[in-house]
Chain A
Amino acid sequence: MASTAQIEVRDGNIVAAVQDFLGKLLADQEIAGIFTPRQLEAKGTVMPALITSADKLATADPLAPSFPLNSARQVAQLTRGDLDGGLVAVMRPCEIRAFVELIKLNQGSLHNLVLVGVDCYGAYDNQGYRRVMENNGDSLGLEGSNSFIKKAAAGEIGAGNGVPGLARACLACEHPVSPVADLTIGLMGADLGSQIFIEASTPKGEGLLSRLELKDAAPGDARDKAIEALVAKRKAYRDAMFEETAEATATPEKLADYLAGCINCYNCRVACPVCYCRECVFVTDVFSHEPWQYMGWARKKGALRMPTDTMLYHLTRLAHMSTACIGCGQCSNACPNDIPVMELFRLGAHRTQEAFEYEAGRSPEEAPPLSVFQEKEFSEVTGGLD
């Protein structure tokens, strides 16, 4: 059974309460470093850092509404071998869920790692965040995070008055709380004027939490209710988005129109935390065709769209990683030409994950669907014959 503690929020400073908690974690004898987003002075950028010194925690900010990168790959890199001490990784739910997928592919590990999930109200995409900052005199800083969380908790974050809405991926995300975590920084259902929750959900998390000697908390059903309401809202948004995207890509011709602006830069797969191949086939010589081949393809249809292999790229990527897509939206965030990549991949992922009764990021124990098989299954693809 999960136990819950609380950290006091003073003067409405929620970020300070989170920093206070991170400081206590870093002081624990088993913890050598904390991986967490933090505010950089330069241009108000938020990026993760591996922090080993307590005084550097003053800029740590896991609550900033900025999400320039899914950190799963970074944490995978930090856990693929011996780290020389325990690591705490503070991550958004979609970052943890992506990391869970990488663990299954032996690209990361839970060994020596304490996963701390943060309740997620969502974030702006890169362009949106820049605009919000501009409206705010070029900086948001820790104060910006505090006011964002308070507004989001009150349901007051919406587009309008020159303020953009949150990233669509976040609006459509039905996992505001990570299904996998040792500890969770709980904001939902808390009285943010006075407390945030710290929830332990594994023996590792329990052990650590008990050593910190925090005050117990009883979230009651306020927390469950707050989460439920948010999930319902997001699912409704998600389903409408699926419908719209399915309609826009219902035929190969429509899909071609959908992808018309794609320049094969492959930013979307570089930004994707679960595009797991060490070397992508699309940047190898396999796709460096001979000039006469292009002429042949063009002759067949009278014209050939250049660059070629755009549709092949997206369909192949769907075949490779859609069962692992956790819907973080970094693909869309990275696209220079505003192709709604996340919408397409979330829809594809929804279909393939449903077909295999799989949910990406749900549990490290659940085998990726293409890595296992049963003797008798899916007889519909072989005309009813096993």
Chain B
Amino acid sequence: MSEFEPTIVAFVCNWCTYTAADLAGTARMVQSPNVRLIRMMCTGMVDPKYVIKALLSGADAVLVSGCHPGDCHYINGNYKARRRIKLLTEILTGFGFDERRLKLTWVGASEGNEFAETVNKMVEDIKELGPGEATAIEVM
């Protein structure tokens, strides 16, 4: 049997983490190919239902990543995102989703390295965890 290859949906902010991902790419850093990047203008734009939808439609994990506290281009979008992720973690783990399937990180524009590491670590963790709890059920 071939090794389980997780699908990770990553909502990344245009100004920081997306730029970092770009940097990681142009610098040819080694990264797992399991991540589907979705560029958002800010982590504060990540509606909880995007995360839920991803987890119900086949994603094994969701990463939300944006600017470090104090660096958000819209001043406080990332603080709002942190509360939303807290809320979602509370809701999803209650129904048996492993908490490691939802992650929020701060990765600045110059931190290509950090981005590659975050992604690689997350892919490793999810490989260990196995397929998402909701990926097999026929209900969306």
Contact = CB atoms under 8 A, between A and B. Distances in A.
Interface of A: 246, 249-256, 259, 281, 297, 300-305, 308-312, 315-316, 318-320, 322-323, 347-348, 351-352, 355-356, 369-370, 373-375, 377-378, 381-383, 385-386
A352 B87 contact: yes
Contacts, number: 118
A277 B94 CA distance: 25
Interface in B35-89: 48-49, 52-53, 56-58, 69, 76, 79-80, 82-89
A382 B105 contact: yes
B83 to A, nearest CB: 5
Contacts of A351: 90-91, 94
B128 interface: no
Contact of A311 (B82, B89, B139): B139
B91 A323 contact: no
Nearest to B94: A351
20 contacts: A252-B95, A252-B97, A253-B137, A254-B96, A255-B96, A256-B137, A301-B138, A310-B140, A312-B52, A315-B49, A315-B95, A318-B91, A319-B49, A319-B52, A319-B84, A319-B87, A352-B87, A375-B79, A378-B83, A382-B104
A309 B94 contact: no
Contacts of A315: 49, 52, 56, 91-92, 95
Contacts of A381: 82, 85-86, 89, 104
Given A304-B140, A319-B91, A375 B69 contact: yes
B80 A373 contact: yes
B106 interface: yes
A373 B91 contact: no
B23 interface: no
A252 B96 contact: yes
A251 B96 contact: yes
A348 B138 contact: no
Contacts of B76: 373
Contacts of A382: 82, 104-106
A377 B56 CA distance: 28
Contacts of B52: 312, 315-316, 319
A69 B104 CA distance: 40
Contact of B82 (A251, A256, A352, A373): A373
Contacts of A322: 91
Given A315-B52, A383-B103, 6 more contacts: A281-B49, A297-B57, A319-B49, A351-B90, A381-B82, A382-B104
A301 B94 contact: no
Contact of B48 (A255, A316, A383): A316
A131 B97 CA distance: 41
Give 3 nearest A-B pairs by CB, closest first.
A251-B96, A319-B48, A373-B79
A294 to B, nearest CB: 10
B133 interface: yes
Given A281-B49, A383-B105, A311 B94 contact: no
Contact of A304 (B90, B94, B106, B138): B138
A383 B49 CA distance: 22
B136 interface: yes
B87 A323 contact: yes
A315 B96 CA distance: 13
B91 A348 contact: yes
A378 B80 CA distance: 11
A297 B56 CA distance: 11
Contacts of A301: 136-138
Most chain B CB atoms below 10 A, which of A246, A319, A356: A319
Contacts of A356: 83, 86-87
Contact of A252 (B53, B82, B133): B133
B104 A305 contact: no
Contact of B95 (A249, A308, A375, A378): A249
